[in-house]
């Protein structure tokens, strides 16, 4: 481990794509949606990242309303390493703020920006790719990891990779928005496109310089917050300044503009776990392709994604007879049934709840 | 009301066709499966029958293990009117025993045998038809009610009706087992077949004479029990004798053999509520043909039968997205999801539970 290595784990989230399991106050990273059903995605992420830097150099950026729940899931992270955004302002303000706070501790910090709610099935592959990306970042080049695509996925953004660089990475030529299937198939066939993981690596000072150059308003706001923190208490100024920061993603606000940008190809069983469909794909399944809690009674049923995420009420038998490719999820206060292939349309339900004013279910 | 009129309400049942709502200890008649979701079928039946005879002349025949639950549902029935069979022995022993117990109170009793778990949507039509059948029975002819069929139902037995009798009923010529669709269509078209309601009407003495003639072993056993009861306590003898009685249905053991047998056509929105499919048919449904608890969130969903029969755990939101013609039923300890059209196959699940030794769920 390099003593200047830090990680920022982005752990915000609206909690709509995994309703009814995910809620505003219990977004995806706090749920055990990965193949490891014994711990929340955030806990698995922190365990993985601890192979790269110790807990006291892991910063978790989350929302104010999520601080307690986050702390409960990763108690090993020091409380002062939890950055609580007063309001969500997309990724650029979050990363700039976290970077500034790390720089106040260590001006030579090299930082990995990672997501709290992704799945990685090969921890070794992850550590190897991140280490390589960090070493490229150490040389002063902002770097990303591009996932080697395994299918013409239309749910991810892509990065076009160019020439090999001398440090073993490649030039990142451009970001491509989520494509249609035809474009995705062409990109897959070309062999020169990678999935945008949303992971970024940089020296703290390089990121701040890039923010100053490309997002000067953001840099100014962060500067104010950092000064207040240096003077002892940034809480008041945070509440004033943070909501005024430009709401822009790091991809659009910075990454698409910096040059050179390096990309390290990664192949470590990555998924951003975008929907119940993905959870089903990642889950352990029986001979009939059902993912269901042990003890479920499944007769003439195939391809179902069943989850019991209740915390109370005791053991309950889930019995399916003659159904295929359904999602059946139950929590203490809600039950969802839908076809698995409609996982992406779950927003129709959360939007309806919102319209009906049922905010206690969101 | 005629002071010699009595009713025997048969309230046994295995509790498999409405799993997970129905259980061995909570069979169908104890559930609110009718269009009146405010009370169990048995309570609705007793309320209806009280228009024909008072509570103290209503006898409820049930299983020993169901006595307490039954009493709780119909507290107005005197405890001594609950006959508890030590083991189920089909309908003939049940009816003979109940008849004998009524005769010991009133040798001139005229008795209606009714089921605890049927639905009737027209109470007036029911009272009118039963009254007519009781008046025929008073003249010494065993009588049944045949339901005027509204469709070529293959789930019911039929009765062939013959010539008009002078008392306004018809001759019952023969019983027909559940037919195939072709036969059912022919019977419907002929206009001379009625559905077998399983309701029977007779003077107590006529039934005992018929049992003595057609089922002498049964008559002998019932005689022993009646004698013990007259001497103060029939509990011991009941345990010895009842399990030895021939297990035979009243239809096969008696009704198919008595002549003349009268049938009164009835048309009062009758259903034997045979499956979740029937519950759905009888239930109040929304514009998309969903029967679901108030407050359910149904998006792009049609024809579903949703029931929340939990007693604990607080209010729970049931949300369906894009599903059609499903049965979704939840109780405190189980959740069932199946296509509505497979309602008749529910036994596959209860059989599997039995094989797995999960008797607490049966």
- Partners of B21 on chain A (C-beta within 8 Å) are none
Mean pLDDT of A159-175: 96
Under an 8 A CB cutoff, do B316 and A335 touch? yes
Specify the pLDDT at position B315. 83
Residue B113: how many other CB atoms lie within 10 Å: 24
B321 vs A300, A319, A345: nearest CB: A345
Please tell me whether residues A286 and A220 are part of one structural domain.
no
Q: pLDDT higher for A311 or B216?
A: B216
Under an 8 A CB cutoff, do B336 and A356 touch? no
Position A217 confidence tier, pLDDT thresholds 50, 70, 90: very high
B345 vs A322, A335, A349: nearest CB: A322
* Contact criterion met (CB below 8 Å) for A208 and A99: yes
**What digits encode the pLDDT tens for the residues B126-174?**
999 999 999 999 999 999 999 999 999 998 999 999 999 999 999 999 9
**Chain B residue set in contact with A, beta carbons under 8 Å:** 20, 297, 299-300, 312-323, 326, 328, 330, 332-339, 342, 345-346, 348-349, 352-353, 356, 358, 361
Q: What is the mean pLDDT of chain A?
A: 95
- Reported ipTM: 0.87
Under an 8 A CB cutoff, do B349 and A299 touch? yes
Under an 8 A CB cutoff, do A328 and B337 touch? yes
Strand partners, B143: B201, B262
Under an 8 A CB cutoff, do A321 and B312 touch? no
Please tell me whether residues B223 and B297 are part of one structural domain.
no
- Partners of B319 on chain A (C-beta within 8 Å) are 20, 334-337, 349
- Which range is least confidently modeled, A144-153, A159-168, A313-322? A313-322
Mean pLDDT of A186-208: 97
Residue keyed to tokens 């749920």: A31
- Partners of A357 on chain B (C-beta within 8 Å) are none
**What digits encode the pLDDT tens for the residues B258-317?**
999 999 999 999 999 999 999 999 999 999 999 999 999 999 999 999 999 888 877 889
**Residues B112, B38: Cα–Cα separation, whole Å:** 26
A321 vs B316, B318, B345: nearest CB: B345
Under an 8 A CB cutoff, do B334 and A315 touch? no
Please tell me whether residues B242 and B297 are part of one structural domain.
no
DSSP state of B302: B
* Contact criterion met (CB below 8 Å) for B92 and B253: yes
Helix or strand holding residue B353 (H, E): helix B347-355
* Contact criterion met (CB below 8 Å) for A274 and A198: no
DSSP state of B26: B
A316 vs B322, B334, B337: nearest CB: B334
Written in H, E and C, the secondary structure of chain A is CCCCEEEEEEECCCCCCCCCCCECCECHHHCCCCCCCCCCHHHHHHHHHCCCCCHHHEEEEEEHHHHHHHHHHCCCCCHHHEEEECCCCCHHHHHHHHHHHHHHHCCCCEEEEEECCCEECCHHHHHHHHHHHHHHHHCCCEEEEEECCCCCCCCCCEEEEEEECCCCCEEEEEEECCCCHHHHHHHHHHCCEEEEEEEEEEEHHHHHHHHHHHCHHHHHHHHHHHHHHHCCCCHHHHHHHHHHCCCCCHHHHHHCCCCCEEEEEECCCEECCCCHHHHHHHCCCCCCCCECCCCCEEECCECCEEEECCCCCCCCEEEEECCECEEEEECCCEEEEEEHHHHHHCHHHHHHHHHCCCHHHC
- Partners of B312 on chain A (C-beta within 8 Å) are 313
A349 vs B299, B330, B345: nearest CB: B299
Please tell me whether residues A77 and A39 are part of one structural domain.
yes
Which residues contact residue B233 at a Cβ distance below 8 angstroms, ignoring those fewer than 6 apart? Answer: none
Chain A residue with minimum CA distance to B331? A316
Chain A residue with minimum CA distance to B345? A321
Please tell me whether residues B162 and B309 are part of one structural domain.
no
Per-residue tokens: A168: 């073993």
**Residues B116, B28: Cα–Cα separation, whole Å:** 9
Strands B317-321 and A158-164, how do they pair?
unpaired
Specify the pLDDT at position B34. 87
Task: Map residue B227 onto helix, strand or coil.
Answer: helix
Strands A158-164 and A170-176, how do they pair?
antiparallel
A297 vs B316, B321, B349: nearest CB: B349
B338 vs A312, A322, A345: nearest CB: A322
Which residues contact residue B103 at a Cβ distance below 8 angstroms, ignoring those fewer than 6 apart? Answer: B109, B204, B205, B208, B226
Under an 8 A CB cutoff, do B322 and A314 touch? no
Which residues contact residue B95 at a Cβ distance below 8 angstroms, ignoring those fewer than 6 apart? Answer: B8, B10, B61, B113, B200, B207, B250
Q: Is the pLDDT of residue B14 over 80?
A: no
Strands B143-147 and B170-176, how do they pair?
unpaired
Position A1 confidence tier, pLDDT thresholds 50, 70, 90: low
Q: Which of B271, B296, B322 is the last residue of a domain?
A: B271
Percent of chain B clearing pLDDT 90 (strictly above): 88
Chain B residue with minimum CA distance to A356? B297
Under an 8 A CB cutoff, do B338 and A316 touch? no
**Residues A158, B15: Cα–Cα separation, whole Å:** 57
Percent of chain A clearing pLDDT 90 (strictly above): 88
Mean pLDDT of A15-30: 91
Under an 8 A CB cutoff, do A334 and B316 touch? yes
Under an 8 A CB cutoff, do A317 and B20 touch? yes
Specify the pLDDT at position B233. 82
Position B16 confidence tier, pLDDT thresholds 50, 70, 90: confident
* Contact criterion met (CB below 8 Å) for A345 and B296: no
Position A15 confidence tier, pLDDT thresholds 50, 70, 90: confident
* Contact criterion met (CB below 8 Å) for B263 and B145: yes
* Through-space distance between the first and last CA atoms of chain A, rounded to whole angstroms: 41
Q: How close is the nearest chain A Cα to the Cα of B313, in Å?
A: 6
Specify the pLDDT at position A234. 83
Check residue A313 and give left, alpha or beta (phi > 0: left; psi -120 to 50: alpha): left
Specify the pLDDT at position B255. 95
Under an 8 A CB cutoff, do B319 and A336 touch? yes
Please tell me whether residues A309 and A231 are part of one structural domain.
no
- Partners of B325 on chain A (C-beta within 8 Å) are none
Please tell me whether residues B229 and B319 are part of one structural domain.
no
**What digits encode the pLDDT tens for the residues B19-70?**
999 998 899 999 999 888 889 999 999 999 999 999 999 999 999 999 999 9
Radius of gyration of the CA atoms of chain A, in A:
21
Please tell me whether residues A61 and A121 are part of one structural domain.
yes
DSSP state of B245: S
Specify the pLDDT at position B13. 79
Q: By residue range, what is the domain housing residue B282?
A: 276-361
Q: Which of A213, A248, A271 is the last residue of a domain?
A: A271
Helix or strand holding residue B229 (H, E): helix B216-230
**What digits encode the pLDDT tens for the residues A242-276?**
999 999 999 999 999 999 999 999 999 999 999 99
**What digits encode the pLDDT tens for the residues A292-342?**
999 999 999 999 999 998 888 778 899 999 999 999 999 999 999 999 999
Chain B residue with minimum CA distance to A297? B349
Number of separate domains in chain A: 2
- Partners of B318 on chain A (C-beta within 8 Å) are 334-335, 337
**Residues A270, A129: Cα–Cα separation, whole Å:** 12
Q: How close is the nearest chain A Cα to the Cα of B332, in Å?
A: 7
Q: Which of A271, A288, A321 is the last residue of a domain?
A: A271
Nearest to A23 by CA among A332, A280, A291: A332
Chain B residue with minimum CA distance to A322? B338
* Contact criterion met (CB below 8 Å) for B263 and B143: yes
Please tell me whether residues A283 and A266 are part of one structural domain.
no
Helix or strand holding residue B204 (H, E): helix B204-214
Please tell me whether residues B104 and B144 are part of one structural domain.
yes
Mean pLDDT of A176-194: 96
**Residues A221, B143: Cα–Cα separation, whole Å:** 91
Under an 8 A CB cutoff, do A334 and B318 touch? yes
Percent of chain B clearing pLDDT 70 (strictly above): 100
**Residues A96, A223: Cα–Cα separation, whole Å:** 10
Per-residue tokens: A172: 């990142």
Burial environment of residue B3 by CB neighbours within 10 A (0 to 12, 13 to 18, 19 or more): exposed
The CATH number linked to A19 is 3.90.550.10
Q: For B164, list phi and psi in degrees, rounded to 5.
A: -65, 140
Please tell me whether residues A126 and A200 are part of one structural domain.
yes
Specify the pLDDT at position B1. 65
Which residues contact residue A259 at a Cβ distance below 8 angstroms, ignoring those fewer than 6 apart? Answer: none
Per-residue tokens: B351: 């059989």
Strand partners, A120: A270
What would the DSSP string read from start to end of B167-198?
Answer: TS-EEEEEEEPPP-HHHHHHHHHHS-EEEEEE
Q: How close is the nearest chain B Cα to the Cα of A303, in Å?
A: 14
Q: Is the pLDDT of residue A287 over 90?
A: yes
Dihedral angle sign, alpha carbons of residues A149, A152, A153, A154: positive
Please tell me whether residues B281 and B135 are part of one structural domain.
no
């Amino acid at each position: 481990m390099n003593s200047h290595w830090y990680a920022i784990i982005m752990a915000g989230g609206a909690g709509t794509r995994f309703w009814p399991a995910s809620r505003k106050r219990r977004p995806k990273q706090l749920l055990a949606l990965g193949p490891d059903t014994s711990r929340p995605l955030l806990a698995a992420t922190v365990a993985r990242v601890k192979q790269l830097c110790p807990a006291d150099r892991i910063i978790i950026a989350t929302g104010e309303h999520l601080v307690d729940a986050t702390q409960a899931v990763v108690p090993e992270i020091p409380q002062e390493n939890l950055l609580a955004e007063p309001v969500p302002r997309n990724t650029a303000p979050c990363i700039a703020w976290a970077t500034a706070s790390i720089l106040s501790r260590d001006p030579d910090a090299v930082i990995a920006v990672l997501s709290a709610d992704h799945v990685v099935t090969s921890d070794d592959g992850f550590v190897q790719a991140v280490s390589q990306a960090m070493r490229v970042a150490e040389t002063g080049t902002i770097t990303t990891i591009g996932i080697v695509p395994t299918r013409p996925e239309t749910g991810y953004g892509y990065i076009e990779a160019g020439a090999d660089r001398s440090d073993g990475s490649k030039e990142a030529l451009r970001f491509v928005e989520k494509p249609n299937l035809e474009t995705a198939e062409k990109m897959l066939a070309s062999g020169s496109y990678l999935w945008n993981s949303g992971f970024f690596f940089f020296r703290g000072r390089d990121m701040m310089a890039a923010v100053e150059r490309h997002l000067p308003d953001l840099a100014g706001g962060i500067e104010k917050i950092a000064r207040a923190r240096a003077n002892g208490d940034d809480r008041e100024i945070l509440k004033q300044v943070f909501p005024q920061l430009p709401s822009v993603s790091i991809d659009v606000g910075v990454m698409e503009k910096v040059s050179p940008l390096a990309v390290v190809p990664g192949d470590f069983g990555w998924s951003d776990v975008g929907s119940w469909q993905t959870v089903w794909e990642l889950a352990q399944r029986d001979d009939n392709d059902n993912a269901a809690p042990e003890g479920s009674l499944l007769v003439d049923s195939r391809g179902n994604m069943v989850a019991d995420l209740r915390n109370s009420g005791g053991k309950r038998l889930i019995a399916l007879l003659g159904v295929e490719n359904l999602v059946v999820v139950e929590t203490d206060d809600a039950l969802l049934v839908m076809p698995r292939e409609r996982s992406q349309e779950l927003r129709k339900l959360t939007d309806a709840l919102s319209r009906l004013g049922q905010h206690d279910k969101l």
